[in-house]
Structure 1
Amino acid sequence: MTVPVRTTACDVTTPVARSLGRVSLYEGFEVRFGLPDTRGDWVLCSEFLGEPERFDGWRKALAEWLREQYGEAPDRTTAGYVMSWYLNVVGVLGGLLFHTERRVPSLRPADVAVKVAAEGRPHVVGVALLADEFACLPDDPEAGHPAATAVADETALAALLRARFAAHSAQFVGAFGPTVRLGRRMLWAAATDALDSAAWTVGQLCGDETAGVMDSALLLPAKLDPFTSASTLRATGTGWTRRRESCCFHFVLPNAEACTTCPRVC
């Protein structure tokens, strides 16, 4: 299956492109608008979802790395890692613009691309947005731009991000689910984790964790289908934490322990 790639239609002077240009995340993690002239390791999400065998290749590369590090590569672990990496990067893209600019980009699979490390651990090292369109609040300085759609308030904007992420996640569940031995609830639990942690993670990285937590509460104020819970973020004596809904199956690796936020622990 050949998926058309839109690399020349992206206008890097548009509001959403400028929004991405004003922020950064992890060191070594690339956030960009549009694809480079030479695509290299960039893959459209629509290519992953249209050709699910691409996930098999990703998991194979991960299995090789895990065997080097741990001596084993259980199928559950490669499935759990890839599931979390994919959903988290789509969630972070949405959470990034929502938290920093109160804008919601298109999250259609054809409008998002990811870059997986070609050497070492094959984790996601970049995300690209390919569409100019965005939703915003009425007082956004670019609300009158042709690519903008203004919505009533923050609650409506959060609901739109939740709906767009759910639509992308539904396609992921449909494509990735048949390739792994993970139940449908586990896949939607991972999507819930990705959405709940997206704005919180961005808040941490941008210096205002509490604001990120508040944004997560806007995005998941209650258990809303198809997600498996409301936001599970909570304050502790040392800061904020959350209980994961899904499991990455890291704990099944030799001499590995469960993550501190794993539902098997909490």
Structure 2
Amino acid sequence: MTLDYSIRPAARPSHRTLAESLTAVNARQERVEVRHGMPATPGWVTCASFLATPDAFARWRAGLARWLRTEYDESPDQTTAGYVMTWYMTIPAYVAALLFHHERRVPSLRPADLAFRTAYPRPHPGSIAVLSPGFACLPDDPAAGTPDALVVPDETALAGLLRGRYIEHARRFVDVYGPQVRFGRHTLFAAATDALDSSLWQAGRYAGDEGAGVLDAALVLGAREKPLTSGSTLRPGADGWTRRRESCCFHYLMERGQGECGTCPRVCPKS
């Protein structure tokens, strides 16, 4: 299917700083808190510190296992590993997708420049903070020419920069998490692919313009770029847009009578 980018209204930020942009986009969605700067309140951790802490993922999975047992009476090892691999990669994916969709800006996605705090009792990332004031933008951005702005020539270049920054964070995650779980690198990069594709789609959906989110996903993930495992898999479905997942979350292991999700790669063929 050919997507017509001319129908996507151009995002034009009216803000001078990234902090102002994050405040604006936070108000346009309700999924998680996104903000600039890490508060002094307990529970926050930078992605760099988290990735450098030997037992951080083990403790996260243990907390998730406790929650799953209260909800489903069991917590298979594959399921906690699957949830966490998706949840972690959603941190850089979602904040990047929101800023790209609404502001046509791309923040730093380095682990040292992102922080998060998990929610309670379901321990998903409930808050995400961008710590660096720097960002990439288009020539007509009101902050173009300021010290914090890296200007790129057009939307294609901006999308490519987002993808590249995201891949670098994903590589670091896979290097750290891979030895701790029974998943291969392909599965881990498949989860990273899912997180980015879904986040771009959801940024449009939550703003009331699902089609624009689909177009953003096609722009950022127009084709497979290794080590990601595919381009965008969004496609029209019976009830609107849907996508084929590249990775399995292993939720079906807790509801054995239900089987895999209809979009799971175990049951949904590639097209």
**TM-score, length-scaled by structure 1:** 0.91
73, 76, 82: which one aligns with 1:74? 76
Give aligned-pair identity as a percent: 56
Q: Displacement, 1:197?
A: 1.3
Matches within 5 A, 1:102-181: 102-117=104-119, 119-181=120-182
Counterpart CA distance in 1 for 2:30 and 2:55 is 30
Counterpart CA distance in 1 for 2:207 and 2:182 is 37
Q: Displacement, 1:263?
A: 1.2
Distance 1:99 1:52, change over 3 A: farther
**Structure 1, residues 71-116: CA drift from partner, whole Å, max 9, x if none?**
2111100000000111112101111111100000000001001111
Gaps of at least 5 residues in structure 1 are 1-12
- Matched position secondary structure for 1:76: helix
Counterpart CA distance in 1 for 2:30 and 2:102 is 18
**TM-score, length-scaled by structure 2:** 0.89
Counterpart CA distance in 2 for 1:168 and 1:93 is 13
* C-alpha RMSD over aligned residues: 1.4
Question: 1:200 and 2:197 equivalent?
Answer: no
Counterpart CA distance in 1 for 2:208 and 2:76 is 37
**Structure 1, residues 27-69: CA drift from partner, whole Å, max 9, x if none?**
362111101133x111110011111410000000111111122
Question: 1:234 and 2:256 equivalent?
Answer: no
Distance 1:102 1:28, change over 3 A: closer
For 1:29, the equivalent position in structure 2 comes to: 32
**Mean Cα displacement is larger for which, 76-85 or 233-242?**
233-242
Q: Displacement, 1:124?
A: 1.2
What code does the residue aligned with 1:147 have? D
Alpha-carbon contact 2:29-2:207 (below 8 Å) kept: no
What code does the residue aligned with 1:196 have? D
**How many aligned residue pairs are there?**
252
Distance 1:249 1:170, change over 3 A: same
Counterpart CA distance in 2 for 1:73 and 1:159 is 38
Counterpart CA distance in 2 for 1:133 and 1:149 is 8
**Structure 1, residues 218-260: CA drift from partner, whole Å, max 9, x if none?**
1111111111011100012321000000011101114454223
Gaps of at least 5 residues in structure 2 are 1-14
Alpha-carbon contact 2:107-2:136 (below 8 Å) kept: yes
Counterpart CA distance in 1 for 2:31 and 2:219 is 29
Counterpart CA distance in 1 for 2:255 and 2:205 is 31
Alpha-carbon contact 1:188-1:227 (below 8 Å) kept: yes
- Matched position secondary structure for 1:264: coil
253, 259, 262: which one aligns with 1:260? 262
Alpha-carbon contact 2:16-2:142 (below 8 Å) kept: no
